[in-house]
Amino acid sequence: MTTSPIEKTIADYFAATRAMDRTAWIATFAVDGVSHDPEGAPPHCGHAALGKFFDGIVALTEKVGLTADHVFVCGDKAAVMWSGRGIGKNKKTLAFEGIDLFEFDARGKIAAVHAYWDPTKLMAQLA
């Protein structure tokens, strides 16, 4: 079974969240990659900003990670339905879900991701 560069990047992206591995997560993005997470919030542009965003999420949790439940690749784009699980610093169990829309560059790196989910549900679990 052959895995395309896009499928590998998606698998690496979600594995890095579960491992809480900042370096591996950033490596899935193009150098000028952009994350709109959540969609409508100010974007995180480039590796430095993406790293700060990742650090902010990890700082709120003892453990957190996303699992790709359904992946749909179409050309240089993909839609992924995902579920998130973790444990907050408050020792509460976290559960949340969403859909990410990805765009990839010619090397299979993430050029842009648009994350559709409700962060207020996660924040309520962290309170």
Domain ranges for the chain, please list them: 5-126
How many Å apart are CA 37 and CA 113, to the nearest integer?
Answer: 8
> Could you tell me which residues come within 8 angstroms of residue 9 by beta carbon, excluding any fewer than 6 positions away?
28, 104, 108, 109, 110
As a whole number of angstroms, the distance between CA 109 and CA 48 comes to 16
Q: Which of 90, 84, 16 is nearest to 54 (CA)?
A: 16
pLDDT one digit per residue (tens) for the chain, 127 residues = 557 999 999 999 999 999 999 999 999 999 999 999 999 999 999 999 999 999 999 999 999 999 999 999 999 999 999 999 999 999 999 999 999 999 999 999 999 999 999 999 999 999 8
CATH architecture of residue range(s) 5-126: Roll (3.10)
Rounded (10°) CA dihedral 82, 50, 13, 111: 90
CA atoms within 13 A on the CB side of 119: 9
